[in-house]
Amino acid sequence: MAIHGFRETEKSRWSEASRAILQRVQAAAFGPGQTLLSSVHVLDLEARGYIKPHVDSIKFCGATIAGLSLLSPSVMRLVHTQEPGEWLELLLEPGSLYILRGSARYDFSHEILRDEESFFGERRIPRGRRISVICRSLPEGMGPGESGQPPAAC
């Protein structure tokens, strides 16, 4: 299992205010020709939870993955799958949006660091509970009516 200390759900009904925010996320992250999975993945990571390095499966996730980070700052590390010396870390502040597409989507694993490893440069980033709201494009070859229920870390 790639994720430890979490709860998750797939959500398709939103309040009007939340729908407006999701539309802004989708406009920023997805091209006009991209079809999105009908449900939005909501991942609730407890303060001691973490996500191990993984590349999302092409069976469940299409070419673009966009996540809105909420509640607590966290550090996301991306490591090239063929060249482990090629890596970078992103500081995901509450309210920030990350978008994985192209090489970042397919050639790099991504992870959310454990609280005790949570540093951005030399700066300690204390982790609290983190919620991420994740939108994904439809996998290649899947029709718009299919739901493609991905596991927690597809």
Q: List, for residues 78-115, the tens digit of each pLDDT value.
A: 999 999 999 999 999 999 999 999 899 999 999 999 99
- Give the CA distances from residue 111 to residues 3, 14, 31, 55, 135, in Å, rounded to whole numbers and listed in that order: 9, 27, 25, 9, 17
Burial class (CB in 10 A: 0-12, 13-18, 19+), 149: exposed
The owner of tokens 């996301």 is 76
Q: Quote the Cα angle for 30-35-36, to 5°.
A: 75
For 15-59, strand residue ranges (E) read 40-54
Interval 1-51: pLDDT, tens: 789 999 999 999 999 999 999 999 999 999 888 899 989 999 999 999 999
Write down all domains in the chain, each with its CATH number in brackets: 3-28+37-136 (2.60.120.590)
Q: Is the pTM of this model over 0.75?
A: yes
